[in-house]
Amino acid sequence: MTAAMTSLQRVLTTLGHREPDRVPFFLLMSLHGARELGLSLREYFSAARNVVEGQLRIQRKYRHDCLYGLFHAALELTAWGGEVITYDDGPANSGEPFIRDFEMIRSLEPPDVAAATDLQPVLEAIASLKEHAAGELPVIGVVMSPFSVPPMQMGFDRYLELMYERPELFERLMRVNEAFCVAWANAQLAAGATAIVYFDPVSSSTITPKETYLRTGYPIAQRTIARIHGPVVVHLASGRGLPILADLPGAGCVGVGVSAEEDLATLKAAACGKLMLVGNLNGIAMRRWTPAEAEAEVKRAIAAAGPGGGYILSDNHGEIPWQVSEETLLAISDAVQTWGAYPLRWVENGGK
């Protein structure tokens, strides 16, 4: 039996593709803290202190291994003057695209993170979470990749037109987005984030063919991640990644968030000790799981990817839906405590 570790030690050990005391797990919940505090989502995100308290309560309740600095992905758009639409039962989303004409890209400049009023509560929350973590829990920051944020900036159809028909303006938009992404990531690291999740769903093979990705999203990731002053995990946000898995280490990331649509054992074999895997519990199906089903899914994932380390159990999208019940989340946590302790003798014994 491996000696008990802190969450940060556990994550760092598995990042080194070694077995810690148990499989680490991240319950990436940006919304559920509001429920813990009895607040609406609008009230919850109105003050950094609410998010901090919500994250601390979630971590204590479910005994998972990180504190999550994400408010919502669309928040980045406010720095550009973009519109954000809020909901009562889910994450905020982008509103009307602020790039209304391709020619606007010629004069577009990256926003100043320090002057972006709506981003400051995120930095305040991360700084407070780091203080509360006391070196025992990783604090996770989040950015949208330069390649994947344009659907929110201009709409998906116009973005595809830009990518394929206006290469010079596509390249300029990428350079502007890269500058902002790097500044925003580094601001979160300076505030106290341990690592950055680089959400990049457009690079997934679900959306972009591999040959196109290698010409577009891949060099963009290489340029961007090289300038981020901390470890980066690329998250494909439910998109399939097996076709590009062997390429991702070359982008500079240390891990990848993987899809529920792919076989976890196959992904683990393809990672070859070069990439840590994060995933792949199905967050949508999770809304309907019984406790027994939650336990079975945790066992499946641990058996497929847990041996040898290099695996963090989590959901497949990077955000657990608001509709997932406390009962299910507690069942996931209990199952990890029961079945995730190293060495995984039950896996070696054929699942018994």
Residue 2, in any domain of the structure: no
Residue 1, in any domain of the structure: no
Closest-CA residue to 267 (of 248, 293, 282, 251): 248
What percentage of residues in the chain have a pLDDT greater than 90? 94
Instruction: Output the pLDDT for position 352.
Output: 65
| Number of domains composing the chain | 1
CATH code of 166's domain: 3.20.20.210
In angstroms, the Cα distances linking 57 to 36, 50, 61, 208 are 7, 11, 6, 38
Tell me the pLDDT tens digit for each residue of 303-350.
Answer: 999 999 999 999 999 999 999 999 999 999 999 999 999 999 999 887
Q: Is the pLDDT of residue 1 over 80?
A: no
Q: Strand 255-257 to strand 276-281: parallel, antiparallel, or no bridges (unpaired)? A: parallel
Residue 142, in any domain of the structure: yes
Residue 272, in any domain of the structure: yes
Residue range of the domain that includes 337: 7-348
Across all residues in the chain, what is the average pLDDT?
Answer: 96
Dihedral through CA 260, CA 264, CA 267, CA 269, nearest 10? Answer: 180
Question: What is the enclosing helix (H) or strand (E) of 143?
Answer: strand 139-144
pTM (global) more than 0.85: yes
Instruction: Output the pLDDT for position 272.
Output: 85
Residue 302, in any domain of the structure: yes
Tell me the pLDDT tens digit for each residue of 113-127.
Answer: 999 999 999 999 999
Tell me the pLDDT tens digit for each residue of 198-222.
Answer: 999 999 999 999 999 999 999 999 9
Q: In whole angstroms, what is the distance from residue 293 CA to residue 154 CA?
A: 40
Q: Is the pLDDT of residue 88 over 70?
A: yes
